[in-house]
A = this chain, B = another copy of it.
Amino acid sequence: MSLAPVGTETLRRQNTARVLRSLREEGPAGRARLAELTGLSRATVGAIVADLTERTIATEGSSRAQGRGRPVRPVALRPGAVLGLGMEVNVDYVAAAAVDLAGRVVATRTRPSDVDGAVDGVGRLGAELVEELGEDRFVGACLAVPGLIERDHRTVAWAPNLRWEGVRPSESLRRHLGPDLGQDVVVENDANLAALAEAHHGAALDHQHALYLTGTIGLGGGILESGRLVRGGGGFAGEIGHLPFGDRDAECGCGRRGCWEASVGLEAMLELTGEPAHDDPVAAAASVAARSDEASVRRALEELGRRVGLGIASLASILDPDVVVLGGYFAPLSPWLLPSADAALLERLPTAGRRRPTLRAGALGIDAAALGAAEHALGAVLDGTAALPDPSVVA
C-alpha cells in the first residue's frame, strides 16, 4: 500500500503538479489555456496560479493581445524559484548542479577529487551551491554514484571504483547540507540519472522510453521506461557491461570472454584505433576524433560502432526504447559510430523493419549525472507526491 497521505490537500497538490508540469513542458500560458491543458476548470486554475504567484513560484508576464478578445496574461515559472540539488561522486571528480522547476540549469560545478575525500568533497560542493542560491529554494537533493544502489535508495551496496560497500552517504552529507535539505538525500546510480538528464535536458528530450549507454573504462547503462527509471527489485538493473554481446574471443577484465565491455570499453577502443593509453575516456575519444581523417581510424570507429550496435540490438529486443543515447566517451565519437551502429541494428534487430530506436549522441557533458540527480530531486514536486516549499518571499 502506498503510504501517501490522502485528503483534500493531496488533491490540491496533484492539481498544482499538473499546472507545474504544463508550465514546464508547454511553457508560459494564460489561465484559460492552462485549464485546457490540465483539464481543470478555470476557477481552479485561477486559484492555483494565485497561490503559486503569491509564493513567488510563478510570475505573471505583461499581458499580450493576440487577435480579438481580452489579452492573455501569461503565467510563467519564475526562474530559479524552486530548485533541485544534484550531486555526483566519481573516481576523480565530484560535481553538483541545480535545476529549477522550469527545467533551466541554474548552476553546475565540477571539481577534481580523490576517492577518499569524495563524500566530503561533494558535500562541500553541494553546500556551496545551496549557500549561494539560498537554502529555502531547494526542495530535494540527490546523489549520483557509480555503483549498485540498494532498493532503499539510500545505501550504496557496492561501488567498486570508489571502494564503497554498504556506505550510506546521506549521513555525512547531512553535515554539509544542513538538517533540512540533508535530511533525506536520495542516492541513485549515475548512469540511471544520466539517462534521466538526457531525457529532460539532452538528446532524449521528450522521450519516455530511453536507453542510455555510457562508455567509460567499463560500460554503464540507464533505462527509462514510461519516464521512470528501471531499477529492478534490488536497484541493480542496468548492469550491461558483462553481457555476452561482445566478440566471442575478447578477454574481459572479469576473467570471461565475450563481454560487451571487452569489445567496446575504453581499452578496446584504444586498441582498435591505435591510440596510446589514456586515463580519461572522454579525452581519449577527443584525441581519436582529431585523427578521424586517417582511414584506419575511420575503419576502426566503424567497427566499434558495429559492436555497439550489435549490443543495442539485443537491448532493444528486450526493452524497445524510442531512443538510445550514447554518452561517455561514445559521445565525441558518435559521428563515426552512429551510422555503423544503426546498420548493425538493421541487420540484427528482428523487428528493425517495423521499428527501431533512434540512435543519438549524448548532448550533456561530464555533469550529466549531476543534472539528472537535480532533476530527480525535483521529481516529487512534479509528481504531486511532495508539497512545494514555502519560500520566504523574495523579490
Q: Which residues of the other chain, B, contact A234 by a CB distance below 8 angstroms?
A: 320, 322, 354-355
Chain A, residues 1-29, CB within 8 Å of chain B (1/0): the string is 11111111011001100100110010000
- Is the CB of A243 closer than 8 A to any CB of chain B? yes
Contact partners of A148 in chain B: CB under 8 A: 351, 354
Given contacts A6-B14, A11-B8, A351-B239, contact A318 B317 (CB under 8 A): no
Choose among A3, A232, A322 the residue with the greatest number of B CB atoms under 10 Å from its CB.
Answer: A232
Q: Are A350 and B239 in contact (CB under 8 A)?
A: yes
For the complex, give the distance between the alpha carbons of A221 and B15 in Å: 37
Of B39, B221, B254, B354, the contact of A3 (CB 8 Å cutoff):
B39
Q: Per-residue 0/1 for A334-367: is the Cβ within 8 Å of any B Cβ (1 yes, 0 no)?
A: 0000000000000010110011010000000000
Given known A-B contacts A235-B320, A319-B232, A350-B254, A11 and B1 have beta carbons under 8 A apart: no
Task: Produce 1/0 per residue, A219-232, CB < 8 A to B.
Answer: 00101011010111
- Quick one: which of A14, A221, A248, A315 has the most chain B CB within 10 A? A14
* Copies, count: 2
Contact, CB under 8 Å: B242 / A317: yes
A69 within 8 A of B: no
**A106, chain B: closest CB distance, angstroms:** 25
Q: Does A233 contact B (CB under 8 A)?
A: yes
Which B residues are CB-close (under 8 A) to A314?
243-244
Using a CB-CB cutoff of 8 Å, which residues 190-246 of chain A contact chain B? Answer: 207-209, 221, 223, 225-226, 228, 230-240, 242-245
A348 to B258 alpha-carbon distance, docked (Å): 12
Find out whether the CB atom of B209 lies under 8 angstroms from the CB atom of A233.
yes
- A40: B residues at CB distance < 8 A: 6
Q: Which residue of B lies closest to A322 (CB)?
A: B233
A242 — nearest CB in chain B belongs to which residue?
B350
Chain B residues with CB below 8 A from A37, complex form: 1
Given contacts A233-B320, A321-B233, contact A157 B354 (CB under 8 A): yes
Q: Does A158 contact B (CB under 8 A)?
A: yes
A38 within 8 Å of B (CB atoms): yes
Number of A residues contacting the other chain (C-beta, 8 Å)? Answer: 64
| Complex Cα–Cα for A221 and B126 (A) | 43
A317 and B239 contacting across the interface, CB-CB below 8 Å: yes
Q: Which residue, of A3, A6, A22, has the highest number of chain B Cβ atoms within 10 A?
A: A6
Q: Which residue of B lies closest to A228 (CB)?
A: B226
Q: Is the CB of B319 within 8 A of A237?
A: yes
Check if B1 sits within 8 Å of A237, measured CB to CB.
Answer: no
For A44, list chain B residues within 8 Å (CB): 6
Contacts of A254 in B (CB 8 A): 350
Min CB distance A325 to B, Å, is 13
List, sorted by A's number, 15 A–B pairs whose CB atoms are closer than 8 Å.
A5-B39, A6-B14, A7-B11, A8-B8, A10-B11, A148-B351, A225-B225, A226-B228, A230-B319, A232-B320, A233-B321, A235-B320, A240-B318, A243-B317, A244-B314
Q: A1-B39, A230-B319 are in contact. List 10 more A-B contacts (CB 8 A).
A: A1-B18, A1-B25, A3-B39, A6-B38, A158-B354, A233-B320, A236-B320, A236-B351, A239-B350, A243-B318
Chain A residues with a Cβ under 8 A of chain B: 1-8, 10-11, 14-15, 18, 21-22, 25, 37-40, 44, 148, 157-158, 207-209, 221, 223, 225-226, 228, 230-240, 242-245, 248, 254, 256, 314-315, 317-322, 348, 350-351, 354-355, 357
A-B pairs with lowest CB-CB distance, top 3 = A232-B320, A209-B233, A233-B322
